[in-house]
Amino acid sequence: MKRGVEAFERYLRNEKQLSSHTARAYLSDIAQLLSFLSTVFPKGVGVDKIDTLTLRGYLGYLHQQGLSKASVMRKLATLRAFFRFLHREGRIQSNPARALRAPRQIKKVPRVLSEEDAAGLVEAPKPLAAHPLQGLRDRAMLELLYATGLRASELVGLDSERLLMQERLVRVIGKGRKERIVPFGEPAARALEAYLAVRPGPLNPRSPVFVNLRGGRLTSRSLQRIVEKYMPLLMTDAGASPHTLRHSFATHLLARGADLRAIQELLGHASLSTTQKYTHVATAQLKALYDKAHPRARRNSATEPKENE
Protein backbone atom coordinates (compact mmCIF):
# COMPACT_ATOMS: atom_id res chain seq x y z
CA MET A 1 0.00 0.00 0.00
CA LYS A 2 2.82 2.38 0.89
CA ARG A 3 4.54 1.81 -2.47
CA GLY A 4 1.24 2.42 -4.25
CA VAL A 5 0.77 5.75 -2.47
CA GLU A 6 4.34 6.81 -3.27
CA ALA A 7 3.82 5.95 -6.95
CA PHE A 8 0.53 7.89 -6.94
CA GLU A 9 2.30 10.92 -5.48
CA ARG A 10 4.91 10.84 -8.27
CA TYR A 11 2.08 10.55 -10.81
CA LEU A 12 0.28 13.60 -9.40
CA ARG A 13 3.39 15.78 -9.33
CA ASN A 14 5.20 14.65 -12.50
CA GLU A 15 2.59 13.37 -14.92
CA LYS A 16 -0.51 15.34 -13.90
CA GLN A 17 1.66 18.33 -12.87
CA LEU A 18 -0.79 19.36 -10.17
CA SER A 19 0.02 22.26 -7.89
CA SER A 20 1.60 21.39 -4.55
CA HIS A 21 -1.61 22.49 -2.80
CA THR A 22 -3.82 20.17 -4.89
CA ALA A 23 -1.39 17.26 -4.59
CA ARG A 24 -1.33 17.67 -0.80
CA ALA A 25 -5.13 17.57 -0.74
CA TYR A 26 -5.15 14.26 -2.66
CA LEU A 27 -2.52 12.75 -0.40
CA SER A 28 -4.33 13.95 2.73
CA ASP A 29 -7.47 12.14 1.54
CA ILE A 30 -5.46 8.97 0.94
CA ALA A 31 -3.93 9.28 4.43
CA GLN A 32 -7.44 9.41 5.91
CA LEU A 33 -8.35 6.25 4.01
CA LEU A 34 -5.25 4.50 5.34
CA SER A 35 -6.14 5.55 8.89
CA PHE A 36 -9.61 4.04 8.45
CA LEU A 37 -8.15 0.80 7.03
CA SER A 38 -5.79 0.48 10.00
CA THR A 39 -8.80 0.31 12.33
CA VAL A 40 -10.68 -2.19 10.15
CA PHE A 41 -7.60 -4.34 9.45
CA PRO A 42 -5.31 -3.98 12.52
CA LYS A 43 -2.87 -6.52 11.08
CA GLY A 44 -2.66 -4.67 7.78
CA VAL A 45 -4.18 -5.28 4.34
CA GLY A 46 -2.75 -5.43 0.84
CA VAL A 47 -4.02 -2.93 -1.68
CA ASP A 48 -5.24 -5.80 -3.87
CA LYS A 49 -7.50 -6.99 -1.01
CA ILE A 50 -9.50 -3.75 -0.75
CA ASP A 51 -12.92 -4.26 -2.29
CA THR A 52 -15.95 -2.08 -3.06
CA LEU A 53 -17.66 -3.07 0.20
CA THR A 54 -14.69 -1.78 2.21
CA LEU A 55 -14.71 1.52 0.36
CA ARG A 56 -18.46 1.88 0.89
CA GLY A 57 -17.83 1.34 4.59
CA TYR A 58 -15.27 4.15 4.48
CA LEU A 59 -17.77 6.51 2.81
CA GLY A 60 -20.34 5.57 5.46
CA TYR A 61 -17.78 6.33 8.15
CA LEU A 62 -17.23 9.80 6.62
CA HIS A 63 -20.99 10.45 6.76
CA GLN A 64 -21.04 9.42 10.42
CA GLN A 65 -18.24 11.91 11.08
CA GLY A 66 -20.56 14.67 9.90
CA LEU A 67 -18.74 15.58 6.70
CA SER A 68 -20.73 17.57 4.16
CA LYS A 69 -21.77 16.00 0.88
CA ALA A 70 -19.29 18.24 -0.92
CA SER A 71 -16.43 16.95 1.25
CA VAL A 72 -17.49 13.33 0.76
CA MET A 73 -17.66 13.85 -3.00
CA ARG A 74 -14.17 15.31 -3.03
CA LYS A 75 -12.81 12.32 -1.12
CA LEU A 76 -14.71 9.98 -3.44
CA ALA A 77 -13.04 11.68 -6.42
CA THR A 78 -9.68 11.01 -4.76
CA LEU A 79 -10.55 7.33 -4.27
CA ARG A 80 -11.54 6.98 -7.90
CA ALA A 81 -8.34 8.66 -9.10
CA PHE A 82 -6.15 6.57 -6.78
CA PHE A 83 -7.60 3.17 -7.61
CA ARG A 84 -7.89 4.02 -11.32
CA PHE A 85 -4.16 4.75 -11.24
CA LEU A 86 -3.36 1.50 -9.39
CA HIS A 87 -5.43 -0.48 -11.90
CA ARG A 88 -3.79 1.23 -14.87
CA GLU A 89 -0.35 0.48 -13.43
CA GLY A 90 -1.24 -3.20 -12.94
CA ARG A 91 -0.95 -3.03 -9.15
CA ILE A 92 -4.53 -4.33 -8.73
CA GLN A 93 -6.55 -6.63 -11.00
CA SER A 94 -9.83 -4.71 -10.77
CA ASN A 95 -10.86 -1.22 -9.70
CA PRO A 96 -13.03 -1.40 -6.53
CA ALA A 97 -13.88 2.32 -6.71
CA ARG A 98 -15.56 2.05 -10.12
CA ALA A 99 -18.85 0.85 -8.63
CA LEU A 100 -19.03 3.63 -6.02
CA ARG A 101 -21.84 6.14 -6.48
CA ALA A 102 -21.63 9.78 -5.51
CA PRO A 103 -24.20 11.18 -3.05
CA ARG A 104 -26.77 13.47 -4.63
CA GLN A 105 -25.70 17.03 -4.03
CA ILE A 106 -27.72 20.22 -4.06
CA LYS A 107 -26.00 22.69 -6.33
CA LYS A 108 -25.19 25.92 -4.53
CA VAL A 109 -25.38 29.23 -6.32
CA PRO A 110 -22.01 30.99 -5.97
CA ARG A 111 -21.96 33.99 -3.65
CA VAL A 112 -21.25 37.19 -5.54
CA LEU A 113 -20.89 40.84 -4.61
CA SER A 114 -22.92 43.57 -6.25
CA GLU A 115 -20.99 45.81 -8.64
CA GLU A 116 -21.04 48.54 -5.97
CA ASP A 117 -19.71 46.25 -3.24
CA ALA A 118 -17.04 44.82 -5.55
CA ALA A 119 -15.86 48.34 -6.39
CA GLY A 120 -15.94 49.28 -2.70
CA LEU A 121 -13.83 46.25 -1.76
CA VAL A 122 -11.10 46.78 -4.35
CA GLU A 123 -10.90 50.50 -3.52
CA ALA A 124 -10.80 49.95 0.27
CA PRO A 125 -7.00 49.59 0.74
CA LYS A 126 -5.28 52.93 1.35
CA PRO A 127 -1.50 53.49 1.46
CA LEU A 128 -0.57 54.56 4.98
CA ALA A 129 2.36 56.86 5.61
CA ALA A 130 4.02 54.27 7.85
CA HIS A 131 3.44 51.32 5.47
CA PRO A 132 2.74 52.57 1.92
CA LEU A 133 3.71 49.22 0.41
CA GLN A 134 0.96 47.30 2.18
CA GLY A 135 -1.92 49.49 1.01
CA LEU A 136 -0.63 49.76 -2.56
CA ARG A 137 -0.01 46.00 -2.76
CA ASP A 138 -3.45 45.13 -1.39
CA ARG A 139 -5.16 47.52 -3.80
CA ALA A 140 -3.23 46.06 -6.76
CA MET A 141 -4.09 42.49 -5.77
CA LEU A 142 -7.80 43.15 -5.30
CA GLU A 143 -8.01 45.17 -8.52
CA LEU A 144 -6.30 42.36 -10.47
CA LEU A 145 -8.49 39.67 -8.89
CA TYR A 146 -11.68 41.46 -9.86
CA ALA A 147 -10.34 42.50 -13.28
CA THR A 148 -9.24 39.00 -14.33
CA GLY A 149 -11.11 36.42 -12.23
CA LEU A 150 -7.87 34.67 -11.27
CA ARG A 151 -7.91 31.96 -8.64
CA ALA A 152 -6.09 32.77 -5.39
CA SER A 153 -3.32 30.26 -6.19
CA GLU A 154 -2.90 31.78 -9.66
CA LEU A 155 -2.54 35.29 -8.28
CA VAL A 156 0.02 34.48 -5.59
CA GLY A 157 1.86 32.21 -8.04
CA LEU A 158 2.13 34.98 -10.65
CA ASP A 159 5.72 35.72 -11.73
CA SER A 160 6.90 39.01 -13.19
CA GLU A 161 7.52 37.57 -16.67
CA ARG A 162 3.83 36.70 -16.97
CA LEU A 163 2.56 40.20 -16.21
CA LEU A 164 2.57 42.14 -19.49
CA MET A 165 1.99 45.72 -18.39
CA GLN A 166 2.19 47.41 -21.80
CA GLU A 167 -0.35 45.04 -23.33
CA ARG A 168 -2.42 44.89 -20.11
CA LEU A 169 -2.39 41.11 -20.24
CA VAL A 170 -1.58 38.41 -17.73
CA ARG A 171 -0.41 34.95 -18.78
CA VAL A 172 -1.85 32.52 -16.24
CA ILE A 173 -0.75 28.96 -15.49
CA GLY A 174 -3.98 27.35 -14.30
CA LYS A 175 -5.10 23.88 -13.32
CA GLY A 176 -3.33 21.06 -15.13
CA ARG A 177 -0.51 23.50 -16.03
CA LYS A 178 -2.69 24.95 -18.81
CA GLU A 179 -1.88 28.49 -19.88
CA ARG A 180 -4.43 31.17 -20.69
CA ILE A 181 -4.15 34.88 -21.40
CA VAL A 182 -6.48 37.32 -19.61
CA PRO A 183 -6.71 41.10 -20.19
CA PHE A 184 -7.13 43.69 -17.45
CA GLY A 185 -8.32 47.29 -17.53
CA GLU A 186 -7.03 50.75 -16.70
CA PRO A 187 -7.87 50.75 -12.94
CA ALA A 188 -5.94 47.52 -12.39
CA ALA A 189 -3.05 48.81 -14.51
CA ARG A 190 -2.79 52.03 -12.47
CA ALA A 191 -2.89 50.10 -9.18
CA LEU A 192 -0.18 47.71 -10.40
CA GLU A 193 2.07 50.54 -11.57
CA ALA A 194 1.76 52.28 -8.20
CA TYR A 195 2.59 49.07 -6.33
CA LEU A 196 5.48 47.99 -8.57
CA ALA A 197 7.08 51.41 -8.13
CA VAL A 198 7.58 50.69 -4.39
CA ARG A 199 7.82 46.89 -4.46
CA PRO A 200 10.92 45.85 -2.47
CA GLY A 201 13.74 43.79 -3.86
CA PRO A 202 14.95 43.07 -7.41
CA LEU A 203 12.32 42.21 -10.02
CA ASN A 204 13.67 39.57 -12.38
CA PRO A 205 11.48 37.47 -14.74
CA ARG A 206 10.93 34.68 -12.18
CA SER A 207 10.28 37.00 -9.23
CA PRO A 208 6.82 36.85 -7.61
CA VAL A 209 4.75 39.90 -8.44
CA PHE A 210 3.14 40.05 -5.00
CA VAL A 211 5.34 39.76 -1.94
CA ASN A 212 4.94 40.07 1.81
CA LEU A 213 6.65 42.74 3.88
CA ARG A 214 9.78 40.56 4.10
CA GLY A 215 9.99 40.20 0.32
CA GLY A 216 8.80 36.58 0.11
CA ARG A 217 5.99 35.25 -2.04
CA LEU A 218 2.52 35.59 -0.54
CA THR A 219 0.45 32.48 0.18
CA SER A 220 -3.20 31.82 -0.65
CA ARG A 221 -3.98 31.98 3.07
CA SER A 222 -2.37 35.41 3.34
CA LEU A 223 -4.50 36.59 0.42
CA GLN A 224 -7.61 35.27 2.19
CA ARG A 225 -6.73 37.26 5.31
CA ILE A 226 -6.20 40.40 3.25
CA VAL A 227 -9.66 40.14 1.68
CA GLU A 228 -11.24 39.48 5.09
CA LYS A 229 -9.48 42.54 6.54
CA TYR A 230 -11.28 44.95 4.22
CA MET A 231 -14.75 43.39 4.34
CA PRO A 232 -15.89 45.27 7.50
CA LEU A 233 -15.40 48.55 5.60
CA LEU A 234 -18.26 47.70 3.25
CA MET A 235 -21.91 48.45 3.92
CA THR A 236 -22.83 44.80 3.62
CA ASP A 237 -22.83 41.70 5.78
CA ALA A 238 -21.96 39.42 2.87
CA GLY A 239 -18.78 37.46 3.45
CA ALA A 240 -16.13 37.53 0.76
CA SER A 241 -13.05 35.58 -0.24
CA PRO A 242 -10.68 35.76 -3.20
CA HIS A 243 -12.98 33.27 -4.92
CA THR A 244 -15.95 35.60 -4.33
CA LEU A 245 -14.22 38.17 -6.54
CA ARG A 246 -13.75 35.46 -9.18
CA HIS A 247 -17.48 34.66 -9.03
CA SER A 248 -18.31 38.37 -9.16
CA PHE A 249 -16.03 38.88 -12.17
CA ALA A 250 -17.82 36.16 -14.15
CA THR A 251 -21.33 37.13 -13.06
CA HIS A 252 -20.89 40.83 -13.82
CA LEU A 253 -19.48 40.04 -17.27
CA LEU A 254 -22.42 37.76 -18.00
CA ALA A 255 -24.94 40.31 -16.74
CA ARG A 256 -23.44 42.91 -19.09
CA GLY A 257 -23.77 40.66 -22.14
CA ALA A 258 -20.46 38.78 -22.35
CA ASP A 259 -20.56 35.45 -24.20
CA LEU A 260 -20.51 32.39 -21.94
CA ARG A 261 -17.79 30.76 -24.06
CA ALA A 262 -15.59 33.82 -23.67
CA ILE A 263 -16.09 33.74 -19.89
CA GLN A 264 -15.15 30.06 -19.92
CA GLU A 265 -11.84 30.93 -21.62
CA LEU A 266 -11.13 33.79 -19.21
CA LEU A 267 -11.77 31.60 -16.16
CA GLY A 268 -9.82 28.64 -17.54
CA HIS A 269 -12.69 26.17 -17.14
CA ALA A 270 -12.18 22.89 -18.99
CA SER A 271 -15.94 22.36 -19.34
CA LEU A 272 -18.66 24.84 -20.25
CA SER A 273 -20.96 23.17 -17.70
CA THR A 274 -18.70 24.54 -14.93
CA THR A 275 -19.14 28.07 -16.25
CA GLN A 276 -22.91 27.68 -16.65
CA LYS A 277 -23.44 27.95 -12.89
CA TYR A 278 -23.07 31.70 -13.34
CA THR A 279 -26.19 31.81 -15.49
CA HIS A 280 -28.21 30.94 -12.37
CA VAL A 281 -26.76 33.94 -10.56
CA ALA A 282 -27.41 36.27 -13.49
CA THR A 283 -30.98 34.99 -13.82
CA ALA A 284 -31.62 35.58 -10.11
CA GLN A 285 -30.34 39.13 -10.47
CA LEU A 286 -32.58 39.75 -13.48
CA LYS A 287 -35.61 38.46 -11.57
CA ALA A 288 -34.82 40.71 -8.62
CA LEU A 289 -34.45 43.70 -10.95
CA TYR A 290 -37.74 42.83 -12.66
CA ASP A 291 -39.58 42.48 -9.35
CA LYS A 292 -38.24 45.85 -8.24
CA ALA A 293 -38.81 47.80 -11.46
CA HIS A 294 -41.80 46.36 -13.31
CA PRO A 295 -45.17 47.89 -12.28
CA ARG A 296 -46.96 44.54 -12.57
CA ALA A 297 -44.18 42.28 -11.29
CA ARG A 298 -45.89 41.79 -7.92
CA ARG A 299 -49.60 41.81 -7.38
CA ASN A 300 -50.76 44.26 -4.75
CA SER A 301 -52.88 42.39 -2.23
CA ALA A 302 -54.88 45.53 -1.54
CA THR A 303 -56.09 45.69 -5.14
CA GLU A 304 -56.44 41.96 -5.82
CA PRO A 305 -60.04 40.80 -6.27
CA LYS A 306 -61.28 38.65 -3.44
CA GLU A 307 -62.38 35.11 -4.24
CA ASN A 308 -66.03 35.81 -3.37
CA GLU A 309 -66.27 38.95 -5.53
The answer, yes or no, to whether residue 292 has pLDDT greater than 80, is no
- Residue 297: pLDDT band by 50, 70, 90 thresholds? low
Tell me, yes or no, if 151 is annotated catalytic: yes
Q: Which domains does the chain have, with CATH numbers?
A: 2-88 (1.10.150), 115-292 (1.10.443.10)
The answer, yes or no, to whether residue 308 has pLDDT greater than 60, is no
The answer, yes or no, to whether residue 55 has pLDDT greater than 90, is yes
- Write down the catalytic residue from 87, 243, 277, 280: 243
Helix, strand, coil percent values for the chain (each to nearest 5): 55, 5, 40
List, as one string, the DSSP characters of 176-220.
Answer: GG-EEEEE--HHHHHHHHHHHTT--S---TTSBSSB-TTSPBP-H
Residue 52 to residue 64: CA distance in whole angstroms: 18
- Residue 305: pLDDT band by 50, 70, 90 thresholds? very low
The answer, yes or no, to whether residue 301 has pLDDT greater than 50, is no
Tell me, yes or no, if 221 is annotated catalytic: no
Smallest Cα–Cα separation from 75: which of 85, 86, 60, 95? 60
Q: What is the mean pLDDT of the chain?
A: 85
Tell me, yes or no, if 269 is annotated catalytic: yes
pLDDT tens, residue by residue, 137-164: 999 999 999 999 999 999 999 999 999 9
- Write down the catalytic residue from 75, 246, 247, 252: 246
Average pLDDT over residues 260-269: 88
List, as one string, the DSSP characters of 125-177.
Answer: ----SS-HHHHHHHHHHHHHHHHH---HHHHHT-BGGGEETTTTEEEEE-GGG
Residue 45's contacts (CB-CB under 8 Å, 6 or more residues apart) are 1, 37
Tell me, yes or no, if 108 is annotated catalytic: no
Range of lowest pLDDT (77-81, 130-134, 231-235, 254-258) = 231-235
- Write down the catalytic residue from 139, 151, 247, 252: 151
The answer, yes or no, to whether residue 176 has pLDDT greater than 80, is no
Tell me, yes or no, if 131 is annotated catalytic: no
- Write down the catalytic residue from 175, 180, 217, 280: 175
